[in-house]
Structure 1
Amino acid sequence: MGVTMLLALLLTLQTTGATLRNMSTTGCHIIKPPRDGGIRYRGLSQEQIRRVQILPVDYEIEYICRGERIISGPKVRKCLENGSWTDMSKESRCLHPCPRVWLSLENGQVQSDLSELDRSPVEGTQLSYHCDPGFRLLGANASTCTKIGKWDSPKPVCQYDRHYTGQSHSGKKTLYIGALFPMSGGWPGGQACLPSAEMALEHVNRRADILPDYELKLIHHNSKCDPGEATKLLYELLYKDPIKIVLMPGCSSVSTLVAEAARMWNLIVLSYGSSSPALSNRQRFPTFFRTHPSATLHNPTRVQLFKKWNWSKIATIQQTTEVFTSTLDDLEDRVKKAGIELSVRQSFLSDPAVAVKNLKRQDARIIVGLFYETEARKVFCEVFKEKLYGKKYVWFLIGWYADNWFKINDPSINCTVENMTEAVEGHVTTEIVMLNPEIVRGVSDLTSEDFLDKMMARLGVMNPEETGGFQEAPLAYDAVWALALALNKTAGELAKRGLRLEDFNYNNKNITGEIYKAMNTSSFMGVSGHVVFDAQGSRMALTRIEQLQGGIYKKIGYFDSSKGNLTWYGNDKWIGGSPPADRTELIVEYRLLSQKLFVSVAVFAGFGILFGIICLTFNIYNSSVRYIQNSQPYLNNMTAVGCMLALAAVFPLGLDRKHIAQGQFPFICQARLWLLGLGFGLAYGSMFTKIWWVHTVFTKKDEKKDKRKHLEPWKLYATVGVLLAIDILSLMIWQIVDPLHITVEEFTKEAPKGDLDVLIQPLLEHCNSEKMNTWLGVVYGYKGLLLLLGIFLAYETKSVSTEKINDHRAVGMAIYNIAVLCMITAPVTMILNSQQDAAFAFAALAIIFSVYITLVVLFVPKVRLDHPDSSATKRLLRG
């Protein structure tokens, strides 16, 4: 902001005609660009560039070149306080680059005059070539880069000298290692691994206690990390002298080819840069070893972390390549053995959008991502769009990306650096330790720091991390040492049998077998850590665990899979304060009846039962009174008892898991059914009996008045008994054939208020049976017919007057009310079945109102008749 304001001020002063040249202005004058080049002015428009003459302090300009030219010398200059630009003593020029392939020489060395600023050879760069012992140079021993971007002579080659005796200058026998180093291609790891291996050979060959009678030499080619190119080079290594005792390929695709073919020539293969899990197959690759751990070595660490953070459910997303697929297959096997669920497994070829959306839809929380760095940016751009990051999510990534991989400007994505930084925050990486974190001297007498110092001096570049394979360079160094120690051990074993290492040929299985045994039992401390191979020939190593905290990777622990030891620093940080849950926490919540509603209804039911007892007591106590006798008191007693049973059903109807244990539910269900069934059957059955016999006897057109007035009581009781027996029999059959039990109804999951990572699963318990609807249909059909018949009979007998059943009109009124309430309540409660409060209130209040109406209509007039002078008594006597 300050620079921009100063620029604006300078421009204003210039445009207003101020005498700038007479003022002491802090800044730097504009300088000319190099020939065939230009200058990029940051933050200035074309119009401002044409008008400005002085640029402020700390302003930076950048040189750019036309066409295919590149900058030789400083590319960026900065304005200093003294008014000068940085590095003005060093000229910047736009020159044509020459091919970098001239910078390497197989089986030889290249010396150049490249400056630290020049990463590529340009006009004037001079190279000189020298071959290793046993090889002779074919071609010019020097080459110069011309101004048109071409070398002035073809690239020379080092050809094996057939007349070479195999004796080094020290008089030792020479053993040859055939190596393939990818100097270019998908993984140009040979750029650092070749110098590392050559340094290891120098150190080994200087040791008097290791292979004292031999000298190791490399015969190497550039495989370009291409299996096709490697096939041609493998043919040359095998069919051209000298005989190679071991092969050393680099990247996985080339190692697969070499290791599979090596068995035919009885050759041990030792790779320094192959991570493919497919190579851990002893049947397919019987002589293969590698100092680069398999990609599956990440998986034990991941499983250990899942256990540490109490996660039992994970998801994965992978790029569709062989190395990631086989790694994920191994992870799936390991998590199953650990009792961890792999719930979602997504893959993509080039566009991860659909895969990321599927992870979101499946509610993935703990996600393992396996993909290359370029695809990682695509994935996390989609992660940002889908909001699949933050305190609810944890991503596990591969640790060998560049530290700033998410900040690199990538035209293939449409997310800003800020978006990417937000999305990747907090993710965890696992990375194979390729440089010993401990300061210890190993078999080479070098610490890891010593090795780095020597490597950086050997590479001679300012930023060695930008050199291909620099990270794997310790593995190449230790690979040579592993081979040297194995050959040293083999030489001792062969001497006991009268054999020598130089006797090796491609048909000699015995020597190959001894080398295999020695390699298989290797165990030493190298610059990359403890070197030991597992049964599949893969390196066992430490795994470093890091977490991105505030945009910076922080080490949070190490895991030794060979010993199962986890070293934890305790500095892991989480956005939510603690590791998130591996799934949305599901809280089961049973919908319970409102206690206020239950208590209120229960009070009414209790008063109803008390009222029923009073009515029953009154009826029994006054059973000798004439008008009570003429009302069929025993039937009225049955009605009162039935009403009390129906009211008693209200209590179990409102009981749920808040009041009773789970095991008592079946009993409560049966209690609801029997109390309500018997209560209704007894109460309504006794009233229906009255109205039935009134209609049967007293509405007949019979002139014999005595018969009309005669009604035997046993017929009444028999009718009630038949109706009650039907109810009892049907309930017993229902209970035996299809007993009631508890069923649980699930509702749509609900998210509580607030940013809680939980969902509530509402549940409601019902008393149910397998064929509940069938039974209800039968019961409702039968009872419905009785209710309709009762209404009809009540209507037909409304004008009948008889002293045998003197309260049949009150009974008819009660039947009207009961029928209406039942016919409304039955379907409504079925509709409201999933709403516990409404269903209970509707059913319970229907029972209570029916009972109260019945008791009031039947018994209150009789209580008033206990006072003969009352108007009600007179009306009844007149009626």
Structure 2
Amino acid sequence: MVMCKSYLCLCHLTGCAIIRPPREGGIRYRGLTQEQIRSVQVLPVDYEIEYICRGNRVIAGPKVRKCLPNGTWTDMGHKSHCLLQCPRMWTSLENGRVTSWPSGLPVEGTMLHYSCLPGFILVGRNSTQCNKMGKWDSPKPVCHCRSLRSSLHRRAVPHEWWLAGGQACLPAAQMALDLVNNRSDILPDYELELIYYDSLCDPGEATKLLYDLLYTEPIKIVLMPGCSSVSTLVAEAARMWNLIVLSYGSSSPALSNRQRFPTFFRTHPSATLHNPTRVQLFQKWKWTKIATIQQTTEVFTSTLDDLEERVKEAGIEISVRQSFLTDPAVAVKNLKRQDARIIVGLFYETEARKVFCEVYKEKLFGKKYVWFLIGWYADNWFKIKDPAINCTVEQMTEAVQGHVTTEIVMLNPETVRGASNLTSQEFLDQLMSKLGGKNPEETGGFQEAPLAYDAVWALALALNKTVGPLKAKGYRLEDFNYNNREITAEIYRAMNTSSFEGVSGHVVFDAQGSRMAWTLIEQLQDGSYKKIGYYDSTKGNLSWYGNDKWIGAGPPADQTVVIEQYRYLSQKLFVSVSVFACLGILLGIVCLTFNIYNSNVRYIQNSQPYLNNMTAVGCMMALAAVFPLGIDGLHVHRRQFPVVCQFRLWLLGLGFSLAYGSMFTKIWWVHTVFTKKEEKKDRRKHLEPWKLYATVGVLLGIDVLSLMIWQIVDPLHITVEKFTREAPKADLDVLIQPLLEHCSSEKMNTWLGVVYGYKGLLLLLGIFLAYETKSVSTEKINDHRAVGMAIYNVAVLCMITAPVTMILSSQQDASFAFASLAIVFSVYITLVVLFVPKMRRLITRGEWQSDAQETVKTGSSTNNNDEEKSRQLERENKELQKIIQEVAFSTYSYTKSIVTHGHVLGTVLMGLCSCGGDGEEYFYGFCVVDWDLPQ
């Protein structure tokens, strides 16, 4: 049973087996679906298959095959291939013949042979072959008429003329040649002919073409390359053959080098011509810091090097310089990280889309930023869909809003007729007619077309200018050869002095052979470019329209505006502490007055009043130091601040020496005199007051000497500490830079270490001496226990405060509060402990000076008598203690005997109270005993 569908039977009948398609191609099966093709192994008789090729390849060989009854396909002796096709224009030759082998389409392997008709001469190679890349391996030759009029050959190595660049430049050059050849006043005995080749902007391809040009007839007189990479190769080699090179599309700054390219000229201005305009705009908008991002190519690198030199001369800094090869993501992030605001971008149009997609992602646009771009991109370059980016058109439009472009003026903005007798608008009209009405935005090289047009005119006028001088020397232009330097020199001089009005503006070359031109300044406003000015770099003249538009109130700042803001001490805290300090000073005055007024009272005399006076004065000086501690830039000018620093140091240092030094002296001498063994006490010399004062003087002198050395060797001055910048609460393009003023010196830590070490030892020693003398009782210095208590408090507060204030030095409020309150508390404690008990005693006991005048004697004899009386009382006290012990023992024995004879309930209390001469009370006796004995 046979199952059939339609006219094709899907069974094993007589037919042809399926064959493999050609490489880079496939087979079209008529009437079959994909599923049927997979299941069929044999196709029926008379079934036809058709070969198809991928991309722009074509079939070489049979395109259709038919299944024969014998089970084979037709023309199996001829294989079918999918090959690239070379341009067909090579297969025809004006005024000549072309033979092709093999015949058919010009595909890979096809050979073309050229010959000219009688009366014409073949210029170029007589054969060419189509290679695997779909290109002919040699330029197309031409057939020139053997006329009486001399022919000058102008060879060009431009961009691909059917792709970007040459689509408009080639018709413009041909327009110029037609006008020149029709002018009787320009090269009347010569005719310029244009022979163009495609270098693909590839230096390797250009090398091959240059070789063919130089080693085939006729001799060439001028080379006109297009793109920068090819111009670099051609211009560097041309001097070996004494050839002038004139480029219409090269902008690389590297070509402006007369040592390397001695015969090079160009009607396309150098890319560095943008830089004077950029610098002028930076100065106009008062920017002194810019950033750059470039694609890593030679033209942009050299442009940026030139810009760096120019901005340096103008006093402008390039703070950030980023580059990328293919992916700009990291470079854009770095711009954001380093707070770039004014950014110059140097990259091609395709890379510009990548950059601004990343700009949108990093939010590197808006009122804070200005981008400077190259102006020769298409007007809608940011709206073109590009598979290389993942940003929408709306996002790209938002990111590019407000950027500024600088563009060389390639079309004369004025309505003037130049050397070609055409205005710029008439030139455009004729060019559009040549292009067949194509959209200029979609026509490669449309903006550069006026430069190609003027390049032909510059060459024609220069050659015309050389005819007379050469004739005077016995030369003609047609006498040129690759060894004739004189004709080259004449052409060079003529080119170097060229000056005429072209459709692109005034044509003139600088010393490096580069075109001088105006620069157009545009800004993207609301999705379209608006002209905002022109800049003439030759005269330094900026023509400004005043229609620039900004998102904010005006041009943004070139960096985040940093407002310096000093941190000052809280005035509430300062006033509060100052009130306590003033009260403390009043208390010190009261204590000092009291001590001086009652200095002849015996009780006051026995406390060494002069040392107590020094303590009071020192406490008041320490309290006075609180005021300069709280004074900062809010109260005094910075020039006066070092004086405040000196007051802080001297008041606090001398106050400590007087207050603590006098107390330390008391403890020291109490320990020295009254802590010896009993048998040695009587033999010790009497304590003389001058020794106490001398001790205080020594401590004070050490401080004065150390402070004087400090101030002479390394004086205090003001230093400013900077903190992390802070953003204000309001949405402003500013940052707050907090600053804090300090009193410091070059070796501040060293000096503080010396002072703190010395004072710390005194404090520790004072604590030790106070502890050792706590049980000593003497009338010579009767307040040494109160002094010890004061020393404890002062030492603890000082040893805690010193390191803490150093740690908190960056926190002005905390540091001041800790230091000032430590001073206030230690002073208050010292004054209260030393003076209040004395006031209380004199008030409660009435021991005023008037009551004691009759019995108190002055001088050292009185003091000596009191000391003798004290010793006598001590001896009597010891004798009484012995008697009391004996009586106590007898009483105990008697009581015990009574208890043994009966039941006794009672309490025995025996004791003795005795009052010391200095008012201290002692109790000697037994404890209360309660016996409850059995009956």
TM-score, normalised to structure 2's length?
0.75
Is 1:541 matched with 2:517?
yes
State how 1:70-109 maps to structure 2 within 5 Å: 101-102=87-88
Is 1:428 matched with 2:393?
no
Is the partner of 2:364 in helix, strand or coil? Answer: coil
Q: Deviations over 1:772-819 (max 9, x none)?
A: 334333333332332233233334434444332232233223222212
Alignment match, 1:564: 540
State how 1:5-154 maps to structure 2 within 5 Å: 101-102=87-88
Q: Deviations over 1:306-327 (max 9, x none)?
A: 1111111111111111111111
Equivalent in 142, 146, 151 of residue 159 of structure 1: 142
Q: Number of matched residues?
A: 756
Alignment match, 1:215: 191
Alignment match, 1:669: 645
Q: CA deviation at 1:134?
A: 6.1
Alignment match, 2:315: 339
Alignment match, 2:564: 588
Equivalent in 764, 767, 776 of residue 788 of structure 1: 764
Q: CA deviation at 1:520?
A: 0.6
Q: Deviations over 1:7-39 (max 9, x none)?
A: xxxxxxxxxxxxxxxxxxxxxxxxxxxxx9xxx
Is the partner of 1:525 in helix, strand or coil? Answer: strand
In the alignment, is the contact (CA less than 8 A) between 2:94 and 2:143 conserved in 1? no
In the alignment, is the contact (CA less than 8 A) between 1:584 and 1:757 conserved in 2? yes
In the alignment, is the contact (CA less than 8 A) between 1:541 and 1:561 conserved in 2? yes
* Compared CA separation, residues 778 and 159, structure 1 to 2 (3 A): closer
Percent identity over the alignment?
78
- Which region of structure 1 is more displaced relative to structure 2, 305-314 or 616-625? 616-625
Equivalent position amino acid for 1:315 in 2: A
Q: Distance in 2 between matches of 1:688 and 1:109?
A: 124
Q: Deviations over 1:479-529 (max 9, x none)?
A: 111111112221222233343323323222112111111111111111001
* Compared CA separation, residues 159 and 773, structure 1 to 2 (3 A): closer
In the alignment, is the contact (CA less than 8 A) between 1:131 and 1:137 conserved in 2? no
Alignment match, 1:448: 424
State how 1:545-556 maps to structure 2 within 5 Å: 545-556=521-532
Alignment match, 2:552: 576
Q: Distance in 2 between matches of 1:815 and 1:343?
A: 59
Alignment match, 1:858: 834
Structure 1 segments unaligned to the other structure (5+ residues) = 1-35, 37-64, 71-95, 111-129, 140-149, 168-172
Q: CA deviation at 1:457?
A: 0.8
State how 1:624-635 maps to structure 2 within 5 Å: 624-635=600-611
In the alignment, is the contact (CA less than 8 A) between 2:95 and 2:143 conserved in 1? no
Alignment match, 1:645: 621
Q: CA deviation at 1:531?
A: 0.5
Equivalent in 810, 826, 829 of residue 834 of structure 1: 810
Is 1:725 matched with 2:701?
yes
State how 1:635-784 maps to structure 2 within 5 Å: 635-702=611-678, 710-784=686-760
Alignment match, 1:31: none
Equivalent in 905, 916, 919 of residue 878 of structure 1: 919
Equivalent position amino acid for 2:529 in 1: Y
Equivalent in 297, 305, 319 of residue 329 of structure 1: 305
Q: Deviations over 1:131-174 (max 9, x none)?
A: 999667999xxxxxxxxxx9xxx99955344x71342xxxxx33
* Compared CA separation, residues 779 and 233, structure 1 to 2 (3 A): closer
Is 1:612 matched with 2:653?
no
Equivalent position amino acid for 2:678 in 1: D
Equivalent position amino acid for 2:166 in 1: G
Is 1:503 matched with 2:486?
no
In the alignment, is the contact (CA less than 8 A) between 1:381 and 1:415 conserved in 2? yes
Alignment match, 1:264: 240
Q: Deviations over 1:163-198 (max 9, x none)?
A: 71342xxxxx3332222333358x642222121111
Q: Distance in 2 between matches of 1:264 and 1:137?
A: 23
Q: CA deviation at 1:290?
A: 0.6
Alignment match, 1:89: none
Q: Distance in 1 between matches of 2:394 and 2:531?
A: 23
Q: Distance in 2 between matches of 1:481 and 1:133?
A: 30
Alignment match, 1:51: none
* Compared CA separation, residues 721 and 136, structure 1 to 2 (3 A): closer
Q: Distance in 2 between matches of 1:523 and 1:104?
A: 39
* Compared CA separation, residues 235 and 106, structure 1 to 2 (3 A): farther
Is the partner of 2:344 in helix, strand or coil? Answer: strand
Equivalent position amino acid for 1:878 in 2: G
Alignment match, 1:393: 369
* Compared CA separation, residues 104 and 556, structure 1 to 2 (3 A): farther
Alignment match, 1:179: 156
Alignment match, 1:298: 274
Is the partner of 2:786 in helix, strand or coil? Answer: helix
Q: Distance in 2 between matches of 1:386 and 1:663?
A: 45
Q: Distance in 2 between matches of 1:180 and 1:621?
A: 114
Q: Distance in 2 between matches of 1:811 and 1:859?
A: 10
Q: Distance in 2 between matches of 1:184 and 1:447?
A: 25
Q: CA deviation at 1:650?
A: 1.2
Q: Distance in 1 between matches of 2:684 and 2:176?
A: 128
Alignment match, 1:363: 339
* Compared CA separation, residues 739 and 182, structure 1 to 2 (3 A): closer
In the alignment, is the contact (CA less than 8 A) between 1:181 and 1:193 conserved in 2? no
Equivalent position amino acid for 1:456 in 2: M
Q: CA deviation at 1:580?
A: 1.4
Q: CA deviation at 1:876?
A: 10
Alignment match, 1:466: 442
Q: CA deviation at 1:710?
A: 4.4
Q: Distance in 2 between matches of 1:293 and 1:133?
A: 43
Is the partner of 2:192 in helix, strand or coil? Answer: strand
Q: CA deviation at 1:472?
A: 1.0
Is the partner of 2:221 in helix, strand or coil? Answer: strand
* Compared CA separation, residues 156 and 66, structure 1 to 2 (3 A): closer
- Which region of structure 1 is more displaced relative to structure 2, 316-325 or 653-662? 653-662
Q: Deviations over 1:302-361 (max 9, x none)?
A: 111111111111111111111111111211221222221112221111111111122222
Q: CA deviation at 1:635?
A: 0.9
Q: Distance in 2 between matches of 1:156 and 1:259?
A: 20
Is 1:283 matched with 2:249?
no
Structure 2 segments unaligned to the other structure (5+ residues) = 1-27, 29-51, 58-81, 97-115, 126-133, 852-914, 921-935
Q: Distance in 2 between matches of 1:166 and 1:279?
A: 39
Q: Distance in 2 between matches of 1:372 and 1:356?
A: 16
Structure with larger Rg? 2
Q: Distance in 1 between matches of 2:281 and 2:189?
A: 49
* Compared CA separation, residues 466 and 99, structure 1 to 2 (3 A): farther
- Which region of structure 1 is more displaced relative to structure 2, 628-637 or 681-690? 628-637
* Aligned-pair Cα RMSD in Å: 3.5
- Which region of structure 1 is more displaced relative to structure 2, 353-362 or 791-800? 791-800
Is the partner of 1:505 in helix, strand or coil? Answer: coil
Equivalent position amino acid for 1:159 in 2: V
State how 1:484-499 maps to structure 2 within 5 Å: 484-499=460-475
Q: Deviations over 1:815-865 (max 9, x none)?
A: 222122212212221221211111111111111111122222222333344
Alignment match, 2:65: none
Q: Distance in 1 between matches of 2:165 and 2:261?
A: 23
Q: Distance in 2 between matches of 1:554 and 1:713?
A: 96
Equivalent in 217, 230, 244 of residue 220 of structure 2: 244
* Compared CA separation, residues 107 and 287, structure 1 to 2 (3 A): farther
